[in-house]
Structure 1
Amino acid sequence: MTVKAYAVHQAKGAFEPFEFELGEIGANEVDISVESCGICHSDLSMVDDEWGMTAFPLVPGHEVIGTVSAIGEHVSHVKVGDRVGLGWHAGYCMVCDQCMGGDHNLCVDAQPTIAGRHGGFAETVRAAAPSVIKIPDGLDAHETGPLLCGGIAVFNPMVQVGLTPTDSVGVIGIGGLGHMGLKFANAWGCHVTAFTSESKRQEALDMGAHETINSRDPEAIKAAAGRFDLVLSTVNVPLDWNAILATLKPRGRLQMPGAVTDSLGINLLPDMMFKQLSVGAMPVGAPVVIRRMLDFAARHEIAPVNEHFPMSKVNDAFEHLRGGNARYRIVLHRD
């Protein structure tokens, strides 16, 4: 089968129409006829080869929504015509301790959707069946794609740390990840505080924050000492992490779905040791957690705030993202 797609052929290159061949479908594989695909900052990182793992030509796209067009003979949890989603992972080994224990996202042989294979900026994308998730009826297919990477990046830490409805949660950075963190934490029942600029204060309140802290005011951050059970940092720039740690309660946790590449420069004393604090990061969730997230989103009518482009305007969409103008996620739709 010949598949039409959009690909870049060199780092930081422009997207061009591209065709590739899909061979016979495997017994445990699913073909998805793409309806829409979110653009994640990870797609931009892969296009620019920031992580040194990009193979060109690259067809990005790992926030895929579409309908099942074909299934292998051993696939039983979805059928042709079902609306499904595909996120960062397109397959797992299924036999390691992590997979057998339900932690597929920690599988060392997990297969990224856009590394070593072609992603969702295409007519059709193929993936191993366990990574294909059925979309609940209550979710709008045109808006749901960004939940499959950006959404699960903030939802998974809430699950893994055992967040309770009586907890106080701070969210740093109200952008593509952070705005979904506000919505999820609010629906969870938590008291939610947004660390953001004054220009985004009202937006943060509208999206679920009960109050805000000016993230550019060191004195305002200092005044929040000992307030939070969990702080989610969704930014990818260095901050005064010791000041952020000081805002945590004893046994508080700083989780970092934002991919900061610089050294954190964290001091063990006094807060880390004496307050028994923890700092962590984790990948996107396992399929079972993605399913729970989608059910949670459907129950609480949670959707990302998206901007929409036709897939033929993918270059315009990426320039919009590069310019820092996305509010707050971008979704491409098949023309």
Structure 2
Amino acid sequence: MKIKAYGIQEKGGKAEPFYYERNVGDNEVSVKIVYCSMARGDVQFISDDWGDTKFPLVPGHEIAGIIEETGSNVTTLKTGDRVGIGYQLDACFECEFCKAGNEQFCAQQKVIGVHCYGGLADHIVVDHRFAFKLPPALHTAGSVPLLSSGLTVYSAITRAQLPPNAVVGVMGVGGLGQLAIRFMHKMGHQVYAFSHSPDKKEMINRLGAECILTSNAGSLATMDKKFDFILSTLNVPYDLNDFLKTLKPQGKFCVVATPLEKQPVNLGLLYDYAQRTIYGNYVGSRQNMTDMLDFAAKHHIESAVEVMTFGEVNEAIEKVGTGKINIRLILENKA
């Protein structure tokens, strides 16, 4: 099967028409792509910020489309099904992590940008176990950011095992942060969002959180031991120690993004009159994905999106890379 895509040949390069061959295996499905996001993570793959990008790169790790072909072993999906696909496309299903339902840690997993071509294409072929039926209540375009950003923050939040009506904070109100606010608000928690921009206060309130302006000197100092949980979605430097001080004893701090530079931490803040925890979260399992999509459908959680076309991909990359957009950017395949 010959697939038409947009590929990037080198670090920092432009997206250009690109073709590759890919057949449908017994356990796989071919999906006609309708929408694909252009996220900050895709731009970082293009820039090879993490040093593991495989070129030529076909970006796009949040995808929605329609199944066109199924392999001989596929019984749970059929032609015409509307599905969503995230960052991970395959796993061995035999290792200790896969057997425990944590396929995202499989050493043989295949992910977009490192092992596989992504969603900026007419089609994608994926193991059927990583193509997820989209609930009817979710609109296709607005659900696309749920498939990686939504999965990542949802699984991070549920891992915290928060008590009812917990006091929680979200650092950064981009694509990840906005979904995290909405999830925790609908879970019944008291949500605060940390932002340096006064212009975002109205949007933060609308999402269901109170705004804490970190641009105000001393704003964190008044919040000693206030939070049960803080989720950081920031990829710019910040003083981790200032935020750790705002956690209650046994409070938890989770990172789902990080600055490229090393962050210093005062280890005493983890144990001195406390029992605080720092942990990270990497996407989520297939069960996490199913649970998250069901929760989003029940509570009408989708992303506000701006839609451009595949043909405008380089303009989209520039907009995301320079921060010229405040909502999620989705590319529509009109082929």
TM bucket, shorter chain? over 0.9
Identical counterparts, % of pairs? 33
Change (3 A) 1:219 1:105: same
Deviation at 1:40, TM superposition (A): 2.0
Secondary structure of the structure 1 residue equivalent to 2:219: helix
In the alignment, residue 303 of structure 1 is paired with which amino acid?
E
TM-score by length of 2: 0.96
1:227-246 aligned within 5 A: 227-246=226-245
Distance in 2, Cα, partners of 1:273 & 1:237: 27
8 Å contact from structure 1 (residues 37, 333) kept in 2: yes
1:234-257 per-residue CA deviation (whole Å, 9 max, x = no partner) reads: 111121111100111111011011
**3-state SS of 2:220 partner:** helix
What secondary structure does 1:58 align onto?
A: coil
Report how many residues are paired: 333
State the secondary structure of the residue aligned to 2:83: strand
- Matched residue of 1:144: which SS? helix
State the shift of 1:309 in Å.
Answer: 0.6
**Partner in structure 1 of residue 177 of structure 2:** 178
- 1:287 is displaced (CA, Å) by 0.8
Residue 115 in structure 1 maps to residue 114 in structure 2: yes
Structure 1's consecutive aligned runs of 4 or more residues displaced over 3 angstroms after TM superposition are: 270-273
Contact 1:254 1:278 in 2 (8 A): yes
User: Structure 1 CA distance, aligned partners of 2:227 and 2:107?
Assistant: 33
- Deviation (angstroms), 1:270: 4.1
8 Å Cα contact 2:229/2:247 also seen in 1: yes
**Which secondary structure state, in structure 2, belongs to the residue aligned with residue 276 of structure 1?**
coil
Aligned amino acid, residue 4 of structure 2: K
**One-letter amino acid of the counterpart of residue 4, structure 1:** K
Once the two structures are TM-superposed, the CA of residue 273 in structure 1 deviates from its matched residue by: 4.0
Amino acid in structure 2 at the alignment position of 1:116: H
Residue aligned with 1:194, SS: strand
Q: What are the equivalent positions in structure 2 for 1:280-319 lying under 5 Å apart?
A: 280-319=279-318
CA deviations over 1:182-229 (Å, ceiling 9, x no partner): 1111011000001112121111001110x2211223411111111111
When residues 58 and 170 of structure 1 are mapped into structure 2, their CA distance, relative to the original with a 3 A threshold, is same
Secondary structure of the structure 2 residue equivalent to 1:73: coil
**SS of structure 2 residue aligned to 1:219:** coil
User: Are residues 268 and 218 of structure 1, via their aligned partners in 2, closer, same or farther at CA, if it must alter by over 3 Å?
Assistant: farther
Superposed, 1:268-279 pairs within 5 Å as: 268-279=267-278
In 1: Cα distance, 2:113 partner to 2:270 partner: 40
Note the 1:78-227 alignment, pairs <5 A: 78-196=77-195, 197-209=197-209, 211-227=210-226
Contact 1:6-1:16 at 8 Å conserved across structures: yes
Give, as a single letter, the amino acid of the residue that structure 2 aligns with 1:295: D
How far, CA to CA, are the matches of 1:208 and 1:189 in structure 2? 10
Contact 2:40 2:321 in 1 (8 A): no
How far does the alpha carbon of each residue in 1:52-79 deviate from its partner, in whole angstroms, 9 at most, with x for none? 2222221111101001111111112211
Aligned to 1:74: 73
How far 1:163 sits from its partner (Å)? 2.4
Tell me the secondary structure at the aligned position of residue 295 of structure 1.
Answer: helix
The answer to whether residue 311 in structure 2 is matched with residue 320 in structure 1 is no
Give the AA of the match of 1:107.
Answer: C
Quote how far apart the aligned CAs of 1:324 are.
0.6
| Residues 1:26 and 1:251: Cα distance change in structure 2 (over 3 Å) | same
The 1-side partners of 2:271 and 2:260 are apart by: 21
Contact 1:306–1:327 (8 Å) recurs in 2: no
Query: What is residue 249 of structure 1 aligned with on the other side?
Result: 248
Match of 2:22 in 1: 22
CA distance in 2, matches of 1:42, 1:93: 25
After TM superposition, the structure 1 stretch with the greater mean CA deviation from structure 2, 272-281 or 64-73, is 272-281
TM-score normalised by the chain length of structure 1: 0.96
CA drift at 1:165 = 3.2
Counterpart mapping for 1:36-75 below 5 A: 36-75=35-74
Aligned-partner Cα distance in 2 for 1:151–1:215: 25
Distance 2:76 2:167 in 1: 37
User: Which secondary structure does the structure 2 equivalent of 1:243 belong to?
Assistant: helix
State whether structure 2 residue 6 is matched by structure 1 residue 6. yes
Matched letter for residue 7 of structure 1: G
AA paired with 2:17? P
Which letter does structure 1 place at the counterpart of 2:190?
H
> Residue 164 of structure 1: SS of its match in structure 2?
coil
Distance 2:271 2:280 in 1: 16
Please tell me the root mean square deviation across aligned C-alpha atoms, in Å.
1.2
Question: d(CA) in 1 for partners of 2:234 and 2:90?
Answer: 28
Stretches of structure 1 lacking an aligned partner (at least 5 in a row): none
Deviation at 1:263, TM superposition (A): 2.0
* Aligned-partner Cα distance in 2 for 1:273–1:157: 25
Between 1:179-188 and 1:111-120, the stretch displaced more is 111-120
CA contact (8 A) 1:34 1:122 kept: yes
Alpha-carbon shift at residue 259 of structure 1 (Å): 2.5
Q: How far is the alpha carbon of 1:271 from its aligned partner?
A: 4.6
